[in-house]
Amino acid sequence: MNKIKNQTRPVFPFTAIIGQEEMKLALVLNMIDPKIGGVMIMGDRGTGKSTTIRAIADLLPEIEIVSDDVFNSHPYDYDLMSDLVKQQIESKVNLKTQLIKVPMVDLPLGATEDRLCGTIDIEKALNEGVKSFEPGLLAKANRGILYVDEVNLLDDHLVDILLDSAASGWNTVEREGISIRHPARFVLVGSGNPEEGELRPQLLDRFGMHAEIRTVKDPLLRVQIVEQRAKFDHDPYSCIDEFCDQQNELKESIIIAQKKLVSVIIDYDLKVKISQICGVLNVDGLRGDIVTNRAAKAFAAYQNKDEVEIDDIKKVITLCLRHRLRKDPLDTIDSGTKVNKIVHEILSE
């Protein structure tokens, strides 16, 4: 209990969130396999989008980083460490490490490109001959979660940079012939309200998953949600304590699934069926096929299975494909009925 009270700011427990199963599943699967490519959460105002995203970050196990490294470099994985750390390893320097909570970085709507990517101090480079880099939000988000609320209102140019870094796992800053590159492997989570406009189809397609959330209509469930929130606001620590066992159980499931993921297999016939569905739905490119395969394996690992089954595909495929059907920016996103119809026809054969 004392350990909990040491937190600077209590976070609403993920397992205490009622409803919104689609959003919760999409977030959990991205934590199991960050290569799914993030999640776009669209829904009404006041449906707990931000609360849920902060809750999943708080739930995750701590990560080991090289002490005092601004990029949260991994002490052993070359893909997740900065050039400086690599040089230290090659020079046989004994690195100190520490455990930190998974970084959760908010990107404010008014952020500039420099704030996002970081800046190079040209004066220092010219006068002293040293590369001086002021890290941006992409550096802080390495190995964590980058959350963009109202992503549909963000400048398209910044969304492009975000998606490029999320896909490649690297951020490169170039200025006056000086170039600095650092790891930026993060789960990109965007949220927004459809009333304020959709993202362009080209940008939307680059989010791995698309979760839709609606305001709960059932009065009994609404009362339950209101009471749960009131209880947390009144005494957050006893609420955190109440859900402690469930939180630990879910955390353990995610850790086991992360380890199990590499050994999960998906039958060739099922891969063909996934691609057949993408073809019938006229999904452009192969991102839909790749993400569905990844998500199905992550869901199977989460269920502690060794092999993907048809039900695993049915559970995730709508989340992976519904936002890839828009060809015209003026179209609305399919809620899933079109995907479900084709999935049912093909997977029932």
Which residues are annotated as catalytic?
Answer: 287
Give yes or no for a contact between 49 and 213, defined as CB atoms under 8 angstroms apart: yes
Tokens 């406009």 identify what position?
197
How many CB atoms lie under 10 A from the CB of residue 99? 9
d(CA 119, CA 137): 11
Measure the CA–CA gap between 154 and 119, rounded to whole angstroms: 20
CA distance 88 to 150: 40
Gap between the terminal Cα atoms of the chain: 54
Collapse the DSSP code of 111 into the 3-class scheme (helix H, G, I; strand E, B; otherwise coil) and give the result.
coil
The alpha carbons of the chain give a radius of gyration, in whole angstroms, of: 21
**How many Cβ atoms from other residues are within 10 Å of residue 63's Cβ?**
16
Residues 6+ apart with CB under 8 A from 256: 301, 304
Confirm if 95 and 82 have CB atoms less than 8 A apart.
no
